[in-house]
Amino acid sequence: MNKLILDVDTGVDDAQAIMMALASPTVEILGITCCNGNTKLDNACKNTLRVLQKCNRLDIPVFRGCVQPLLAEPLHAGDYHGKDGLGDVPDPNAPGMDMLQDTHATQAMVNIVNDNPGEVSLVATSALTNLAVAVQLDPSFPEKLKALYIMGGNIESRGNTTVCGEFNFVVDPEAAYIVLNRYTCPTYIASWEFSCRNSVPWSFCDTWLAQDTEKARFMENISRHTRKVAQSEDNEKEETKRVGFNSCDAYALVAAIDNSVVTESEEVAVSVELAGNNTRGMMVLDYMGLLKKKHKATIMKKVNLDLFKKMMIDSVK
């Protein structure tokens, strides 16, 4: 079994990733930790519980994490995911916040990994604030992880939030810097450009969401706003044309489930730029070896799209 901790800021793509993990027979989710990011922390917690309720898995513990970045001003993605993070389609029967665990998310991460040293992979699809605090609580935390999978950063300085910055890293650049420089476990990164190049066709989305199941109807409902925005961007911005739906967070998740899904990658030392009017939050790839870092991250380049799409289909069956 793949023992996972999911660190999320549950918007639409986090919801997709969570559902893909829940659908996998080889995954055991030991806990889900929530962070400020796509939406405010309380929304992220509520949204996570909604997804688990829809999948009949409210037995999985959910933990409330960091409410704001380490130093940066809070930033959210309400224009893309909806103000509440799940398309602004509230559910009056959604679970309440009383379903959350009492332990803070960062301490929960440390506890879970200490109980399962070398066995747990951490999948981070949010700003990396919780992870940065966790390594402060326990400096040995990263070396006890089996692996770390990150959705975030960019490899060609193409931003989606600032000129050169990807959202998750821009939300908390200091946290991203800490994680990329202090986590020395095997590290796999699904960057923004990588996810764009491996988008699924809109025609597939129609088939995927047309399945006659409660989960498919849930996903169709919460993703309607996001798909409308993304399709509009496809039509208007030829230079960043994706020609399909980019389920950003799901790419990091599927790699954690089955590394063979990633068919092309490269290893390189990475860091994060913390200064610069246009480059703060940009991921730095050190091809020249000037940073003198021994630890290298695996940068994903291509996925087996057929297998990825099958996992998407299975997630809403």
Cα→Cα distances 234→47, 53, 76, 238, 242, Å: 27, 33, 22, 7, 6
Residue of 9, 13, 172, 249 marked catalytic: 9
CB 36 within 8 A of CB 67: yes
CB 21 within 8 A of CB 27: yes
| Helix runs in the chain, H state only | 12-23, 41-54, 78-81, 105-115, 129-137, 141-144, 167-171, 173-182, 192-197, 202-209, 214-236, 248-257, 305-315
SS3 content of the chain, % helix, strand, coil (to 5): 45, 20, 40
Residue carrying structure tokens 């949010």: 126
Phi-psi region of 250 (alpha: psi -120 to 50; beta: other; left: phi over 0): alpha
DSSP lists the bridge partners of residue 262 as: 303
102 tagged catalytic: no
Cα→Cα distances 193→22, 56, 84, 140, 257, Å: 26, 34, 26, 32, 21
Q: Say how far apart CA 145 and CA 5 lie, in whole Å.
A: 10
Best CA proximity match to 142, nearest among 186, 184, 187: 184
Catalytic residues: 9
